[in-house]
Amino acid sequence: MTPVLEVQDLAKQFHMHHLDQVLHAFDGISFTLHAGEFLLLRGPNGVGKSTLLRTLYRSYLPRAGHIWYHTTEGRIDLATAADVDIALLRRREIGFVTQFLIARPRVAAEDIVSEPLRRAGMPAPEALDEARRWLAEFGVKRDLWRAYPTTFSGGEQQKVNLARALILPQRLLLLDEPTASLDAGARAALIRRLADLKAAGVAMIGVFHHPGDVAGLIDREIELTAQEVSQDVAV
């Protein structure tokens, strides 16, 4: 079985110029992930779990190491891949689910959710039907579908966010505490969707505040341990 991802000796640190200080995040992270595998990142708060996910997604630039990602056209090192290649992979194969929705003013919930499908080339009417199906699945009330999520509560925003993030099946999915602030119904819908994606071969790496939520999905765990000056930096 070919791996989806091979991470070798990955290291991240932040250089904060105004303090003339280097914040160490993590060092020497190595693991391999196969299609359909679910990897849980564990460790105390601030140990760098979210930082690792963001580095894999390249929102953060690694300091050293490799992130070999296997595509149908050969492997590419996400640690040093060109920005346009990363953008392309994000559109097609690598998804990131956070607990926060970046709601745009005056864009309806159903349009936010259908956007990834439209970008992938699906005609607008079908994309909209599919978006509505997922909004319903995550328990967003029908009268909110045309409304702007900027005015929604945190929990409702998160449902829109999840519907958008999971509507287009990816090959690799990074999950940063997606169950935070979800009600029981939405959490069940999320876990159903993740189980389906896993069965379809999507490889996943996740951080969960309550790993019990996804206990049935986990294949392997990685424990991140605090190093000297390990610190999770939110910029």
Partner 1 sequence: MTLAQHSLALRAPQLMTTPPLLTMTGVSRRYGDVVALRDVSATVYPGEVLGIVGESGSGKSTLLRMMNLEDTPDAGDYRLALPDLPGNLFDLDRFARRMLCATRIGIVYQNPHLGLLMKHTSSGNVAERLLIAGERSFAALRGRAREALDASEFPLDRMDARPIELSGGMQQRVQLAKAIALEPVLLLLDEPTTGLDVSVQALVLDTLKRLQRDRAITMVIVSHDLGVIRTMADRVMVMRRGRVVEQGLADQIFQDPQHDYTQQLVHAKL
CB < 8 Å & 24+ apart, contacts of 153-157:
154/181, 155/181, 155/182, 155/183, 155/186, 157/101, 157/103
The answer to whether residue 104 forms part of the interface with partner 1 (CB under 8 A) is: yes
Q: Smallest distance from the beta carbon of 80 to partner 1, in angstroms?
A: 5
Q: Which of 2, 17, 123, 228 binds partner 1 (CB under 8 A)?
A: 17
CB nearer to partner 1: pick between 61 and 215: 61
Q: Which amino acid is at 7?
A: V
CB nearer to partner 1: pick between 38 and 57: 57
Q: Smallest distance from the beta carbon of 106 to partner 1, in angstroms?
A: 5
Site for partner 1 in 38-67 (CB under 8 A): 54, 58-64
The answer to whether residue 85 forms part of the interface with partner 1 (CB under 8 A) is: yes
- CA-based nearest residue to 12, from 220, 177, 231, 174: 231
Q: Which amino acid is at 24?
A: H
Instruction: Give the x/- contact pattern for partner 1 in 184-203, rule: CB under 8 A.
Output: --------------------
Stretch that binds partner 1, among 13-21, 41-49, 161-169, 223-231 (CB under 8 A): 13-21
φ, ψ at 72 (rounded to 5°): -65, -20
Pairwise CA distance, residues 44 & 226, whole Å: 8
Stretch that binds partner 1, among 17-25, 130-138, 210-218, 219-227 (CB under 8 A): 17-25
Q: Smallest distance from the beta carbon of 182 to partner 1, in angstroms?
A: 24
Tell the residue number behind the tokens 């090192």, with chain if given.
77
Q: Tell me how many residues contact partner 1 (CB under 8 A).
A: 38
130, 122 Cβ separation under 8 angstroms: yes
Q: How many CB atoms lie within 10 A of CB 182?
A: 21
Q: Which of 6, 27, 32, 86 binds partner 1 (CB under 8 A)?
A: 86
Pairing of strands 3-16, 220-223: unpaired
Question: H helices within 148-208, ranges in order?
Answer: 154-166, 184-199
Residues that bind partner 1 (CB under 8 A): 13-18, 22, 54, 58-64, 71, 73, 76-77, 79-89, 104-107, 115, 118-119, 235
